Amino acid sequence: MTAPLRLRLSHDALISNWKLLTKLSGSAACGAAVKANGYGLGAREVVKRLAVAGCRDFFVANWAEARAIADLGLSVSVLHGVRKEDMAVERPPNVRPVLNSQAQIGLWRVGGEGRACDVMVDTGMNRLGIAPGEIGSLDGLEVDTVMSHLASADEDVALNRRQRDVFAALAGMRPGARMSLANSAGIALGADYAFDVTRPGIALYGGRPRAEHAEIRQVVTPEAQIIQRRTVPAGEIVGYNGTFTAPRDMEVAILNIGYADGYLRCFSGRGTARVDGVAMPVIGRVSMDMVAIDVDAMPGLGEGDWVSLDYALPETAALSGLSQYELITGLGSRFDRVWSS
């Protein structure tokens, strides 16, 4: 049975975005961050589509996410590393931990069975990773990729260059290992940041963290069915707490979507729905499962019809005050995810 709300996902936009980021990555291989269930789009479908396009390196947060795509037979790196609990269960051979601490290095030495790993080096973000001076502690391990992460790549700040220079100084210290620094925003900083492998995330899915991403295309559009169409007399309220009062007799449609689905209360009186390019404003307060829109401009629209919600990530972030990352990963589990060209 289909759900009364869906995410319309564009295969062509996803692949176009990856190809653009591949071009911007220069000679570096362009991977894909597919953590948080492919930023909410569905990791398995994202991985399968990107793999056909040529992507070979995928990055997830934890081992549960890795196991969900491991059977696809591609290279998967677990960014949060490895825990004692992870060492106690079978680990797919195509999945590598990104070791972030001496404790994780110790776990992998004992139980890694000589298999390859990655390592995160902290170059100034102070989040995860070993210190640059601890790179020698990896002796005896088979390190596939040495990584670090930029703290402020979406801004033009001196920290970007400092982190890049610290990371570049590690080149050759793990012979044969690849080096990876740039995320979506880092790719746009130029060839000096690309190294051997880039790790885009948000830009794959339609986010534009820097002006250089102007050609990135929107991938996801929320759509919802109309539950009811009704006439609201002039002077009557719509929704909780009477935040909207009808200025005239008007036609209102109630949509099957709300903040439980990630269409948050910040869109109250500010969001826009569309059918055939016709804009219909959100009116009143967004509630848990329902949104009201003004449908005076669409006399033929009725119960069961579908409408789309404006959700281009950069513009929606500016409207809502939320980050592009929050907006896309917050889209909930009640959506059907429908891919189209």
pLDDT tens string 170-221: 999 999 999 999 999 999 999 999 999 999 999 999 999 999 999 999 999 9
**Confidence at residue 226, expressed as pLDDT on a 0 to 100 scale:** 98
Query: To which residue do tokens 């804009």 refer?
Result: 279
Residues 181 and 161: beta-carbon distance below 8 Å: no
Q: Which of the residues in the chain have pLDDT under 70?
A: none
**Domain map of the chain by residue range?**
10-205, 220-340
Annotated catalytic residues are 35, 240
What pLDDT sits at residue 1? Answer: 86
**The predicted structure's pLDDT at residue 35:** 98
Output the pLDDT for position 163. Answer: 98
pLDDT of residue 341: 85
Same fold across 10-205 and 220-340: no
What CATH code would you report for 10-205? Answer: 3.20.20.10
Topology of the domain comprising 220-340: Lyase, Ornithine Decarboxylase; Chain A, domain 1 (2.40.37)
d(CA 54, CA 19) in angstroms, rounded, equals: 9
Contact present, 18 and 204 (Cβ < 8 Å): yes
Count Cα neighbours of 223 within 13 Å in the Cβ-side half-sphere. 19
CA–CA distance, 197 with 243 (Å, rounded to integer): 50
